[in-house]
Structure 1
């Protein structure tokens, strides 16, 4: 019997972290959302012409990388956030057109881990996932699980206050106080995406796609 929590009857699904990904039915596309650090920095790096190895990106945010690593090898894995929400939806639409078949999408908010390793809700990831789900719906990919619909409507209601909401989040305050991930990004020769820039809706049309452990632009 299918699990009541696998959202298998819906095309667009939403859950949190690696446990959430495992809880959902297998999907054709997995979109990983870890707005503050992993997603935004990978998006910006790929947009600027860098090929980013998953092993390198894992040093910037372990949660986002863990979700990527947990995705089934047959799934298409994309990195999404607020900065490229519409571009992600467009990429999913293209994937569906190329497959000539109904395509299932698991949007996974990475969240943050506390010192005990327990997953913590992260408001920025909820908003990033909601932005992507709403952009999918705008393109007619709208057979959406209740979990995903709640994320999308939360984003719709708060889209005018993105910079404030994300800037006031616990994750943003943690980054402002200084985190080792910032130094590791800089050591890679990249500029960490600032918190205000991470909240800039549809600033880029680049969608990182994972191929053989490397993020390159979806095309």
Structure 2
């Protein structure tokens, strides 16, 4: 794909999924990953408690080996939580589990996007910390034509593995972009501008996320509290920054 798809010339750019992240990473100075239900929301909950979160793309034997290497417990699937392994991709589970200073969090969407950055700074954003992330990016001089930021909505997957754009991630990305604009970053690509418009145009973010396909799926699976936590808009001032393989609170 040609340079047109890099959104060249704009300080704030927006794309979808790992492929979009890898493409924008060619010119971006920083990437922001947004996976509202649930990777980046869970990262925000864990990091604000003081934990370091190691993203990993798959929950398999290699994930267990990686967890042993970094000396951290491995989060399990939501339904596999037990007394010995209470940490899962559920933000509610992480919030109520005993504190762990290190946690390996498998996620094929959020972790794959983080990996696509190839050494760039990566920030984990969600609806809980969208305003804080936008302010932090502006304060660190990201979001200009010289130091562009790529905001990546993770989306979900159809059964065949193809990308399913997800409303909650569009809104989460829009929250960050709208905050960047409030902090003086007005050079938005049309894609980024429309993501911000989706966020600012919503009259009830919590209801929109809860009523979305992903929100209904999570509620029907027995995890309505995860949806509630994910829509705690702007309740967190913590900015999780990926460094040395793990997300921790940025200065």
Alignment TM class, shorter chain as reference: 0.7 to 0.9
Q: Distance in 2 between matches of 1:63 and 1:54?
A: 10
Q: Which of structure 1's runs of 4+ aligned residues deviate more than 4 A?
A: none
Matching of residues 79-98 of structure 1 within 5 Å: 79-96=124-141
Change beyond 3 A, Cα 1:101–1:133: closer
SS of match in other structure, 1:15: strand
Deviations 1:165-186 (A, max 9, x none): 000111112222338xx8xxxx
Matching of residues 62-101 of structure 1 within 5 Å: 62-73=108-119, 75-96=120-141
**RMSD between aligned alpha carbons?**
2.2
SS of match in other structure, 1:78: strand
TM-score scaled by length of structure 2: 0.75
1:113 is matched with: 157
Q: 1:161 and 2:162 equivalent? A: no
Alpha-carbon contact 2:41-2:126 (below 8 Å) kept: yes
Q: 1:171 and 2:218 equivalent? A: no
Shift of 1:26: 2.1
Shift of 1:193: 6.5
Q: Distance in 2 between matches of 1:102 and 1:193?
A: 41
2:187 is matched with: 143
2:92 is matched with: none
Alpha-carbon contact 1:26-1:72 (below 8 Å) kept: no
Change beyond 3 A, Cα 1:113–1:103: same
Alpha-carbon contact 2:9-2:145 (below 8 Å) kept: no
Q: Distance in 2 between matches of 1:114 and 1:136?
A: 31
**Between Structure 1 and Structure 2, which shows a larger proportion of helix residues?**
1
The higher radius of gyration belongs to 2
Matching of residues 1-219 of structure 1 within 5 Å: 3-24=3-24, 25-55=26-56, 58-59=105-106, 61-73=107-119, 75-96=120-141, 102-158=146-202, 160-178=203-221, 194-219=226-251
Matched residue count? 203
SS of match in other structure, 2:129: helix
1:189 is matched with: none
Shift of 1:94: 2.5
Which sits farther off after the overlay, 26-35 or 166-175?
166-175
SS of match in other structure, 1:72: coil
TM-score scaled by length of structure 1: 0.86
Q: Distance in 2 between matches of 1:113 and 1:217?
A: 29
Structure 1: runs of 5+ lacking an equivalent: 183-191
Structure 2: runs of 5+ lacking an equivalent: 57-73, 75-103
Q: Distance in 2 between matches of 1:68 and 1:131?
A: 19
